[in-house]
Amino acid sequence: MTPKILRTLCAALDAAKESISLPLFAPRTRCSNGNLSESELTSVCALIAYTAHQQHVSEKEVRRVIECAFGKNDVSEIEEDNYKAVIHYLVDLSADEDFFKDDLRTGEIYG
C-alpha cells in the first residue's frame, strides 16, 4: 500500500470512530439495606448453579457453602461490599465429596 492510501484509510477510521456512540451505563445501584442488589444476586445465583453443575453437586450444597463462608443464613443476606469476594470464592471453589458431606454438617468451611 502506498502512503497516500494508508493516510486515506487512517482518516476514514478516525472519522468512523468519532461517529460511533458508545452506550452509557447507569452507575451501580446500591441497595438501601446494604445487601446485594437484584442484578448482583442474580449473578451470584447463576454462578452458584454453574459451580454446582461443574462440581457435580446440588445448588443447595453450593449455596450452603457460601452461606457458611460468609456467615449468613441466606445468600440474599450477603452485603454488597462482599459481592466480588463471593464471585472469587465461587470461581475458586473446588469441591470434593468429603468437603460437602463432612463440613456442611459441622458448619466448618475450609478454603
Average pLDDT along the chain, 111 residues, taken 10 residues at a time: 76 73 58 80 93 89 91 92 92 68 49 42
Supply the pLDDT for residue 111: 42
- The conformation of residue 22, written as its DSSP 8-state character, comes to P
> How far is it, in rounded angstroms, from Cα 64 to Cα 53?
15
pLDDT of residue 42: 92
Using the structure block, give the residue that is written with the C-alpha cell 459441622.
106
Return the pLDDT at 94: 75
Supply 74's cell numbers. 441466606
Q: Provide the pLDDT for residue 110.
A: 45
